Amino acid sequence: MENKETDFDDNWIEEFEDDDKKYDVFNEEENDSIKINILYVNKRNEIEKINEKSIILNKPNKINKEELIKLIKENEKPNKIKYKLLSILVYNLSLRNEEIKNFLRNSDEYDFLTSLTHIDDYGFKSSINCLQDINTLYVLFNEENIDIKNRATTKRVRFNLANGKTRRKKV
């Protein structure tokens, strides 16, 4: 019996594991970092400037509300020009490895872009390892219109109370 156990050929298992390692890039993994594009739109609705950076997430697949607020506050006033937040968009390519072939044939069926309506914690979906660099958070800022004419002012009402009495107009 001992001869049969030693005669067992396990080379095919090692070959299979070696072949399987080649396809590790197609396995889903959690997102540890995310690319951020900050777009600035001027008063003429033209893209004036684009900043690109990458941040490491505190928790995998999740960006906290505090991180979003910090990102917005740090970038709302470049070059001493005040911008207001227009929109936050998230592009999260969350394909599974079985869906890649179908996606390449008909990519119109898939929609990976979502708009954040509230500034809150946002959870990303796990992505295929080789496609994680495509996941992006877009922050759009619009230049504020500060006109003196449109600025809210308080109208002052002045009273002439020299006599302390209201005068009646005689006809």
CATH code assigned at 40? 3.10.20
Say if 8 falls within a structural domain: no
Residue pLDDT, tens place only, 23-79: 666 677 788 889 999 999 999 999 999 999 998 888 888 888 898 999 999 998 888
Total tally of structural domains belonging to the chain: 1
Q: Could you tell me the pLDDT band of residue 1, with boundaries at 50, 70 and 90?
A: very low
Q: Residue 118: name the closest of 68, 49, 47 by CA.
A: 68
Residue pLDDT, tens place only, 85-110: 999 999 888 877 777 777 778 878 78
Say if 168 falls within a structural domain: no
Residue pLDDT, tens place only, 78-87: 888 889 999 9
**How many angstroms separate the CA atoms of 104 and 109, rounded?**
10
Whole-Å CA distances, 130 to 93, 114, 159, 168: 11, 21, 74, 86
In percent, the amount of the chain with pLDDT more than 70 equals 80
Say if 167 falls within a structural domain: no
Domain span at residue 65 reads 29-143
Say if 135 falls within a structural domain: yes
Say if 163 falls within a structural domain: no
pLDDT of residue 161: 58
Sign of the alpha-carbon torsion through 91, 96, 102, 105: positive
The predicted model scores a pTM of 0.69
Say if 110 falls within a structural domain: yes
Say if 94 falls within a structural domain: yes
Say if 15 falls within a structural domain: no
Phi, psi of 64 (to 5 degrees): -80, 160
The bridge status of strand 127-128 relative to strand 122-123 is: unpaired
